[in-house]
Structure formats: structure tokens, C-alpha cells
Amino acid sequence: MSILEKVHPLSDKVMRMAESETLRMAALARELKSQGKEVINLSIGEPDFDTPVHIKEAAKKALDEGFTKYTPVPGIPELREAISHKLKRDNGLDFKPSQIVVSNGAKQSLANVFFSLLNEGDEVIVLAPYWVSYIEMVKIAGGKPVVVFAGIEQDYKATAAQIAEAISPRTKALLFSSPCNPTGSVYSKEELEEIANVVAPYPEITVISDEIYEYITFAGEHVSIGTFDQVKDRTVVVNGFSKGFAMTGWRLGYIGAPDWLAAACSKIQGQFTSGANSFGQKAAVTALTSDLGPTYQMREAFLKRRDLVTDLLSQIPGFKVNKPLGAFYSFPDISNFFGKSDGTFTINNADDFSEFIIHKAQVALVSGAAFGADQCIRLSFAASEEELVTAIRNIGEAVALLK
Ligand code: PMP
Ligand code: GLU
């Protein structure tokens, strides 16, 4: 019996909540490795690079200077200033420092936003495939996710018409990521403008734009939906340091939001966690105000791996493969294998497929079901080329057994 089963006085809220599938698979891969099994972990979305040295030096300096105390809840003034400047410089967005709230990761930024916006039963249109934690976060904040799905045949991108159809009198927010986790799809400027036009007549709808992969784009300039006049006053841009600066363990994220929403997020954060860690914020200032060379070098490495992975996966019979234009994920449709078996194990869905692969090919992937796409699997290519080649060869050999 799982320790979480209801023999303990746990809340209905936590009992209803699903565990994070990305973190579960990463933990499973770690566990198998610790048992001496040679698992290649392509489950978690985390740059395999170290944080650039100059950023680490800035944190060390802050520690040495005794910058170790509580900080203002929405962030230290110089970081809010640097973020405000960065949003203008890189994204053409106008957020004053007072509209920036720094949090313990973009995850907390998103949670703050949902708790600030949602009343019981309020609807959030979530574009699927979606990032794993959106749905559970919206639900625990009292909201109702309304999922709008786009499959591989439309490059996993919802159309403005689909979104228009999902709007109801209870719609409170529209939520999506571009570049997208898990698909790597990037909405073009024109597509974003069409979406902005659809939302424009509904002032009560807040646009939540998760742009945490903005620096990992392979298709030219990153465009934020917040640049369109129709929605600029009610767009909250979510971003962070985990991906672009390889700072996942530092836990630093932020929002740029309308004044009223930034104030609410700060109020919530003040009761839950206070300001983010002090010396990390100093390092974050350095990350944003220095040369972005290391960030772009990482992007180049991801681009090379994107090409490698796309090429190798497309050679596996039965795989339908997309070409991600950003982030570091490939999201193949593997529904061709449903109903097939290797003689002992039958694949009926993406969960079965990823279980089959971890046992037969020793590769940890994440089932698309976690992202609202049960016909797909997610493979992170934030791993060395050698690991990727071996992993995909093993996957190919394993699926060849399925008849
Ligand atoms: N949004 C997306 C789309 C992500 O992939 C992630 C990474 N887990 C996050 C938010 C949260 O990032 P952070 O590490 O800053 O909490
Ligand atoms: N964003 C990463 C992922 O999707 C990190 C893990 C997580 O926070 O869920 O795998």
C-alpha cells in the first residue's frame, strides 16, 4: 500500500493531486542507477551543463560579503531592475521593476499566479500538450482546466479558432508555453497575434505566457504575446533562470505582471516562502547583466542535438517525429505501437510504452499522458550526444521486438 493512501489524515486536495510525472521518472532513473543498472535518463528537462562560472562567482562574492539575510518578498531592487531592463532589451516588454516578482523558481511564480487569479470553478484554457504541472496547480488553486488539444499533424499548436471555441463566461485565463515544454513547438508572431485577437474582446481573461525556454529557440527571435497591444495590459510573462542559464538547482524564477497581479503574487509569497534566496538573486543580476555568450553556446549545443535526435528518431519505423523549434525535447507520436506486444508485454498506451522502454532499453522517458497527449512520449535531449545515440539505438532495438 502506498504511504499516501488514505489511512492517514491527509486532505482531499492532496489525495486528488497527481504526482509530478517528470520528477517521478527522474527519481526512478536515479534509483535504477543506484542499483547498478545502466539507465540513460532522458526524462527530466534540465540542462546538462554547469552554471556559467561568472554567475557562480557572483554568488560566492555575495556570500563572502555577508549577503545572507532575508530579502524583500518580491526580490532585491537591483534584480527587479535588471529583469525589467532584460524584458525590454530581449523581449520588447514594458514592465516596471514594481511589476516584477522574483520567486523560488518559475514553478512558484506560476503557483502564485493561479492562487492570485482563481476562484472556485474559474476556467483556465490550457493548450495541450501542456507542461506537466499546470493542470495540478490550477486544480489545487480551485480552478478548472479546459484543455485545448493539438496533435502532431498541427505541430502540436492550437489554432486561434480552437481557443475561441473554448472561451466561456467562466474563462479567467489562457495558459501556454512557447517554446513549449513538452513539444518544443514555437508559436510564430502571426499565430500569437491571432491568439491575442481572439482574447482581445474579453478583458477578464488574463494571458499567462510561460517563456522559460526563450533563449533556447532555433527559429530566430523569440516573440512574447505580451508585445501585442490587444493583451499587453493583461499578460503575465513567466520566466526564470533554470533553462537559459543552467540554474535549475538555484530555484529562481520571476514574473512580469500587471501591477494588481504582481502585488497579489507578492502578498501570497509573503505568507508562503518570503523572498527568494539572497545570494542567488545577486548571481541572477550578474546572469542578466553580463554577456549572454554562454547561454548562446548552450543553445548551439542543443540545436546540434535537436538535429541528431530528430534524424535518428525518424529512422525508427513506427515513430512519427516532429521538428522542435525550441526547448530541448522531442515529442514523437508512438501510437503506431498500440496493440503490439513483444510476447510478454502489450503496449496499450504511452504509459505502457515508457515502462516497456525503461525495462527493455534502459532509457527513462516521460509518457505523453503526463502532458495531455497519451499517444506520445517525451524525450529530453539535454544529454550528451553519445548518450543520445546509445539511447535511441536501444529504443530502436526494443521497439523492433513489438509485433
Ligand atoms: N515552466 C516550464 C514550461 C518548465 O519546463 C519548467 C521547468 N520545470 C518550469 C516552468 C519551472 O521552472 P523552474 O525550475 O524555474 O521552477
Ligand atoms: N521542466 C523540467 C521538466 O519538465 C523539470 C522537471 C519539473 O520541474 O517538472 O522535466
* DSSP-assigned states of every residue in 155-167: TT---HHHHHHH-
Estimate to the nearest angstrom the gap between the alpha carbon of 379 and the chain centroid. Answer: 14
* Residues 7, 156 within the same domain: no
- Quote the number of domains for the chain: 2
How much is the average pLDDT of 291-303? 97
How far apart, in whole angstroms, are the C-alpha atoms of residue 353 and residue 312?
18
Question: Which of 19, 20, 22 is the best mutation target for the ligand 2 pocket, counting ligand atoms within 8 Å of the beta carbon and taking the most?
Answer: 22
Domain membership of residue 58 (yes or no) is no
Q: Give the number of the atom of ligand 2 that is nearest the alpha carbon of residue 105.
A: 8
* Residues 128, 150 within the same domain: yes
Q: What distance in angstroms lies between residue 62's CA and the mean position of ligand 2's atoms? A: 28
* Residues 325, 206 within the same domain: no
Q: Does the N-terminal peptide bond of residue 129 adopt cis geometry, omega within 30 degrees of 0?
A: yes
Confidence of residue 311 (pLDDT cuts 50, 70, 90): very high
How much is the average pLDDT of 356-383? 96
User: What pLDDT digit, counting tens, does each position of 108-152 carry?
Assistant: 999 999 999 999 999 999 999 999 999 999 999 999 999 999 999
Cα distance from N-terminal residue to C-terminal residue, the chain:
34
Domain membership of residue 57 (yes or no) is no
**pLDDT number for residue 194:** 98
Q: Is 261 close to ligand 2, i.e. is its CB under 6 Å away?
A: no
Domain membership of residue 62 (yes or no) is no
Ligand nearest to the CA of 252: 1
* Residues 24, 146 within the same domain: no
Domain membership of residue 61 (yes or no) is no
| CATH at 98 | 3.40.640.10
Query: Is the overall model pTM greater than 0.75, yes or no?
Result: yes
Q: Is 44 close to ligand 2, i.e. is its CB under 6 Å away?
A: yes
* Residues 131, 146 within the same domain: yes
pLDDT over 70, % of the chain: 98
Residue 77 has pLDDT above 70, yes or no: yes
Q: Is 250 close to ligand 1, i.e. is its CB under 6 Å away?
A: no
Question: Which of 25, 46, 135 is the best mutation target for the ligand 2 pocket, counting ligand atoms within 8 Å of the beta carbon and taking the most?
Answer: 46
Domain membership of residue 241 (yes or no) is yes
**Closest of 275, 282, 283 to residue 104, by C-alpha:** 275
| CATH at 355 | 3.90.1150.10
Q: Is 131 close to ligand 1, i.e. is its CB under 6 Å away?
A: yes
Neighbours of 343 (CB within 10 A): 8
Q: Is 177 close to ligand 1, i.e. is its CB under 6 Å away?
A: yes
* Residues 284, 299 within the same domain: no
* Residues 268, 308 within the same domain: no
* Residues 224, 95 within the same domain: yes
Range of the domain at 384: 3-50+294-399
Q: Which helix (H) or strand (E) holds 255?
A: strand 253-256
Domain membership of residue 228 (yes or no) is yes
Ligand nearest to the CA of 246: 1
Domain membership of residue 55 (yes or no) is no
Last residue of a domain, one of 289, 316, 345: 289
Ligand nearest to the CA of 26: 2
**pLDDT number for residue 274:** 98
Residue 368 has pLDDT above 60, yes or no: yes
User: What pLDDT digit, counting tens, does each position of 80-90 carry?
Assistant: 999 999 999 99
Residue 5 has pLDDT above 80, yes or no: no
* Residues 180, 245 within the same domain: yes
**Closest of 374, 85, 115, 88 to residue 265, by C-alpha:** 115
What are the DSSP calls for 378-393, one per residue? EEE--S-HHHHHHHHH
Last residue of a domain, one of 289, 310, 326: 289
Q: What is the mean pLDDT of the chain?
A: 96
Residue with cell 553580463: 290
Neighbours of 272 (CB within 10 A): 13
* Residues 237, 371 within the same domain: no
Domain membership of residue 8 (yes or no) is yes
* Residues 321, 268 within the same domain: no
**pLDDT number for residue 219:** 87
Residue 15 has pLDDT above 80, yes or no: yes
* Residues 211, 96 within the same domain: yes
Confidence of residue 4 (pLDDT cuts 50, 70, 90): low
**pLDDT number for residue 23:** 87
Q: What distance in angstroms lies between residue 257's CA and the mean position of ligand 1's atoms? A: 18
User: What pLDDT digit, counting tens, does each position of 277-296 carry?
Assistant: 999 999 999 999 999 999 99
Which of these ranges, 8-12, 71-75, 202-206, has the smallest mean pLDDT? 8-12
**pLDDT number for residue 99:** 98
Ligand nearest to the CA of 240: 1
Pairing of strands 40-41, 235-240: unpaired
How far apart, in whole angstroms, are the C-alpha atoms of residue 162 and residue 150?
9
**pLDDT number for residue 3:** 60
Q: Is 181 close to ligand 2, i.e. is its CB under 6 Å away?
A: yes
Q: Is 41 close to ligand 2, i.e. is its CB under 6 Å away?
A: no
Q: Is 179 close to ligand 2, i.e. is its CB under 6 Å away?
A: no
